[in-house]
Amino acid sequence: MGIDVRHLVKRFRSSCQKTEGFLAVDDVSFSVQPGQMVALLGPSGSGKSTVLRIIAGLESPDSGHVIMQNHDVTWTPPQNRHIGFVFQHYALFKNMTVWKNIAFGLEVNRWEPEIVAAQVERFLALVQLKGYENRYPCQLSGGQRQRVALARALAPRPAFLLLDEPFGALDTKVRRNLAVQLRELHDEVKTTSVFVTHDQEEAFELADEIVVINRGRVEQAGTARDVYDRPASKFVASFIGNVNMVEGVNDGHTLWIGPLRRAVVPARALENRGELVLLVRPESIEVCSSPCSDTLDVMIRTVAYRGDRYEMMLDLDGLELRMIVDRQRGASRTWQTGATLHVRFSRFAVFEASEGHEALRDKLRSLGYIE
């Protein structure tokens, strides 16, 4: 009942023949376990929507395979794939009422009229749109349209539910509400779902597994914990969550960190040597009471109390670090701007600095991943 995506490649040719075209999907492989909900997470233009459209059969790959329920469906038209597809802008049939919209998929598959009616009623109840049967899509709000689209996609009992930025066009409050509903619906009808999003919170909240896609390539596939705690690449680490980037040099014994290359002896020996980039989550910076071999002395620049946590900007020889201290631990002492702290990186990811630290930072900043 799962989906297997193997080595998909898709190049969009532009209208001028001379150019090579745009490589939207570059050797993408991942698999979706039956009954799971998987998020394709990536920045806009990363090719995640194209992957979803290939799974649906709305685009054809240049090479590679899509395998559903152990059948190769790469060349099967979308009609025969047992899918429900929810479009970003819903694509409701403007000339049909809500009832007709939901019934459409059942009628074209020649369900018995009584069963159609029963099924539509059930789904109207499921998405809480009873009483709206005879409205036209233009008479509904954005959230209601979204729910109709969801009901329409689910009513023919698809084996797979595919959602393209399902909450992209909604405002934050409606979005959170609907996200919870979607997850409940998914668990209730037990389909296998794949959804595309650029919002990591949405992905973390809904998905069993997250496939991070960047520039047409899979950067990492795994659970939320995997991609957050063990990012496979610098991109994943910086795209998901907040992260501090500190550069350093490892000579095998000592790590020389920060702009002034302060010496630190890490608790565990690092495999990589030479020029490195350390990615440290704000909550992985730990405050120690006294200096020791694996701590750094930093200065507090600003302190902000956020209710459930304290957020601090630290100064490491001119480099800004963000630190988060949870409420309980934060309340146990006073934080004073300008004071010196001894901090240790409790966990961090290490990548070799293939390009200069600043260059990488600039690029990520320009893409909007870091501030």
Partner 1 sequence: MVPNPFTDISRSVRRRDQRQSPRRYQWFFLRRDPRLMQRLLIAAVLAWLAFLIAFPLIGIITHTFADGWRPFVDALIEPEAMHAFIITLLVTGVAVMINVVFGIIIGLVIARHQFPGKILVEELVSLPLAVSPVVAGFMFILLFGRNGWLGSWFEAGGVRIIYALPGMIIATIFVTLPFVSKEVIPVLLEIGTEMEDAARTLGASPWQVFRYITFPSIRWGLAYGITLTTARALGEFGAVLVVSGNIIGRTQTATLHIHESYTNLHFQGAFSASLVLAVISFTMLLVMEFFRRRIEKSREN
Partner 2 sequence: MNPYPPSSSPRGPGFPSGLFAGKTLAGKKGERVMRWTALTYIGLLVVLPILAISGETVKSGFRTILADLSRPEALASLKLTFLLAFTMILITSCMGTLTAWVMVRYPFRGKAVVNALIDLPFAIPTVVTGLMLVVLYGPASAIGSFMNRNGVEVIYAKPGIVLALLYVTFPFVVRAVQPVLMEMNMEMEEAAACLGAGKWTIFKRIVFPSLLPSILTGAAQAFSKALGEFGSVVIVAGNIPMKTQIAPVYIYGEIESYNPSGALAVSLVLLAGSMIVLLLLNVARRVGTRYGA
Decide the pairing of beta strands 3-12 and 63-68: antiparallel
Stretch in the footprint of partner 1 (CB under 8 A) among 71-79, 170-178, 251-259, 312-320:
71-79
Contact 129, 144 (CB under 8 A): yes
Minimal distance in Å, beta carbon 103 to partner 2?
10
Interior/surface letters 163-199, b for 16+ CB within 10 angstroms, e for the rest: bbbbbbbbeeebbeebbebbbebbeebebbbbbbbbb
Minimal distance in Å, beta carbon 192 to partner 1?
13
Sign of CA dihedral 370, 30, 75, 36: negative
73 binds partner 1 (CB under 8 A): yes
* Contact residue for partner 2 among 84, 241, 258, 330 (CB under 8 A): 84
Minimal distance in Å, beta carbon 78 to partner 2?
5
* Contact residue for partner 1 among 28, 155, 321, 349 (CB under 8 A): 155
Minimal distance in Å, beta carbon 26 to partner 1?
18
Burial class (CB in 10 A: 0-12, 13-18, 19+), 103: buried
77 binds partner 1 (CB under 8 A): yes
User: Quick one: 154 or 296, whose CB is closer to partner 2?
Assistant: 154
* Contact residue for partner 2 among 105, 231, 241, 248 (CB under 8 A): 105
198 binds partner 2 (CB under 8 A): no
Minimal distance in Å, beta carbon 144 to partner 1?
18
Minimal distance in Å, beta carbon 123 to partner 2?
13
Running DSSP on this structure, what letter comes out for residue 79? G
Q: How far is CA 252 from the centre of its chain?
A: 35
Stretch in the footprint of partner 2 (CB under 8 A) among 149-157, 173-181, 304-312, 345-353:
149-157
30 binds partner 1 (CB under 8 A): no
249 has which bridge partners? 256, 275
Minimal distance in Å, beta carbon 75 to partner 1?
4
Minimal distance in Å, beta carbon 143 to partner 1?
19
* Contact residue for partner 1 among 49, 50, 119, 200 (CB under 8 A): 119
**CA gap 155, 106 in Å, rounded:** 7
Running DSSP on this structure, what letter comes out for residue 80? G
Contact 220, 233 (CB under 8 A): yes
Minimal distance in Å, beta carbon 122 to partner 1?
4
* Contact residue for partner 2 among 136, 256, 335, 369 (CB under 8 A): 136
Contact 319, 258 (CB under 8 A): yes
22 binds partner 1 (CB under 8 A): no
* Contact residue for partner 2 among 19, 70, 95, 290 (CB under 8 A): 95
User: Judged by CB under 8 A, how many residues of this single chain contact partner 2?
Assistant: 30
* Share of the chain residues as helix, strand and coil, in percent rounded to the nearest 5: 30, 35, 40
80 binds partner 1 (CB under 8 A): yes
Which amino acid, 368? Answer: G
79 binds partner 2 (CB under 8 A): yes
Q: Which two tokens stand for residue 119?
A: 């099924």
Q: Which two tokens stand for residue 176?
A: 């959170």
**Helix or strand or coil: residue 144?**
helix
**Residues making up the chain, counted from first to last:** 371
Sheet holding 71-72, edge to edge: 22-32, 3-12, 63-68, 71-72
Contact footprint for partner 1 (CB under 8 A) = 13, 57-60, 71, 73, 75-80, 82, 109-112, 115, 118-119, 122-123, 125-126, 155-157, 188-190
Contact footprint for partner 2 (CB under 8 A) = 56-58, 77-81, 83-85, 87, 89, 91-95, 104-105, 108-109, 136-139, 152-153, 156, 162
